[in-house]
Amino acid sequence: MSPTIAGILLPAALAVVMFGLGLGLTPADFRRVAVHPRAVLVALACQALLLPVVCFALVLLFGLPPSLAVGMMLLAASPGGPTANLYSHLFGGDVALNVTLTAINSVTAVFTLPLVANLSLAYFYADAGALGLQFDKTVQVFAVVLVPAALGMLIRARATGFADRMTRPVKALSVATLLVVIGAAVGTQAEALVKHLGTVGTVCLLFSAVSLATGYWLPRLAGVAPRQAVASCMEIGIHNSTLAIAVAMSPALLGDPRMAIPAVVYGVLVFLAAAVAGFAVRRDARPAPVPVPVAGPAGSVRL
């Protein structure tokens, strides 16, 4: 992929995805934090603090080369994506909480993703000063992540009917752009992808399993209800690989296609991992059956 095409296609693809996210958001999605503060705080702590540490440990354990190590860290710092909402719906989670978590994670990622990227580059590269996401590039991340989402929210607020009609086409376009981005990354780095597939695939599967398990069990241990824990499981366990690929490959940001390899592999494997996790936790998310009174002998009632 030429730098010119990458510089246009990748930010445009990410903008489409974030615009589609914004079309489904309202200010109430942010105010919902007050309804489930514990679930939101635990999920954000997992996303922003715990998972980057887990990912860093896996990268060191498997000895990934610097480009792939940074790519994994970009993935760990990426927020949940719209796919998490779908999986949460399928397996009995609180989808409204998913929307809230996605909205807040997308905002905080504008600050946490450049921080994680710069720390990773400083650790894995001796010349990190020439590679890091400096202030101007951080502003570009802000522009391609938050501006389209804010535009989508504005359209929903001003023209709800139009936003409803556009939601499905924009989602279809988001899927198409994701496939194009993954295809471009695979085409650019096919040889390296084949070379490192076994190691990267193992790390991605382990990271996905830890993310999903952490996203469910830490909220449960903190007293969060099962439906909200399922929502957290999917939100924390399904990272936005499109964002990681765009930041890695875009010439205006990091411009290293090798760093996109982990996100490409993860983007394929996570669907299977999330489905397995969903089947494992969906029973807990079902509402408890209400006892039905049954008439006993002599007109007595027993439950």
Percent of the chain with pLDDT over 90: 19
Q: What is the CATH number of the domain that holds 219?
A: 1.20.1530.20
**List of residues 6+ apart from 149 with CB closer than 8 A:** 18, 19, 21, 22, 25, 103, 106
Structure tokens at 130: 């020439």
Residue 18 lies in a domain: yes
Q: In which band, very low, low, confident or very high, does the pLDDT at 133 lie, cut at 50, 70 and 90?
A: low
**DSSP state string for 166-187:** HHHHHHHHHHHHHHHHHHHHHH
Q: In which band, very low, low, confident or very high, does the pLDDT at 217 lie, cut at 50, 70 and 90?
A: very high
pLDDT at 288: 47
Residue 166 lies in a domain: yes
| Sole residue written with tokens 């929502």 | 231
Which tens digit of pLDDT belongs to each residue from 162-214? 888 887 787 777 667 667 766 666 666 566 667 777 889 899 999 999 999 99
Residue 102: is it exposed, middle or buried by C-beta count within 10 angstroms (0-12/13-18/19+)? buried
Residue 300 lies in a domain: no
Average pLDDT over the chain, rounded to an integer: 78
Percent of the chain with pLDDT over 70: 74
Residue 299 lies in a domain: no
Integer distance in angstroms from the first to the last C-alpha of the chain? 68
pLDDT at 209: 94
Q: In which band, very low, low, confident or very high, does the pLDDT at 254 lie, cut at 50, 70 and 90?
A: confident
CA atoms of 82 and 21, how far apart (whole Å): 7
| Sole residue written with tokens 């995805």 | 17
Domain containing residue 151: 3-283
Q: In which band, very low, low, confident or very high, does the pLDDT at 6 lie, cut at 50, 70 and 90?
A: low
Q: Determine which helix (DSSP H) or strand (DSSP E) holds 302, and give its type and residue range.
A: strand 301-302
Residue 170 lies in a domain: yes
Q: Which residue has the higher pLDDT, 215 or 288?
A: 215
Q: What's the rounded mean pLDDT across residues 88-102?
A: 84
**101 and 43 Cβ atoms separated by less than 8 Å:** yes
- Domain count of the chain? 1
Residue 295 lies in a domain: no
Kind of pairing between the strands at 294-295 and 301-302: antiparallel
Name the residue among 200, 255, 220, 192 with its Cα closest to residue 3: 255
pLDDT at 121: 85
Lowest-confidence pick of 78-87, 214-223, 270-279, 291-300: 291-300
Q: In which band, very low, low, confident or very high, does the pLDDT at 122 lie, cut at 50, 70 and 90?
A: confident
CA atoms of 6 and 13, how far apart (whole Å): 10
State yes or no: pLDDT of 59 exceeds 80: yes
What pTM was estimated for this model as a whole?
0.76
Residue 79 lies in a domain: yes
**178 and 15 Cβ atoms separated by less than 8 Å:** no
Lowest-confidence pick of 34-38, 172-176, 235-239: 172-176
Q: In which band, very low, low, confident or very high, does the pLDDT at 5 lie, cut at 50, 70 and 90?
A: low
Residue 169 lies in a domain: yes
**103 and 145 Cβ atoms separated by less than 8 Å:** no
Residues 116-138 as b/e (b if ≥16 CB within 10 A, e otherwise) read: bbbbbbeebbeebeebbbeeebb
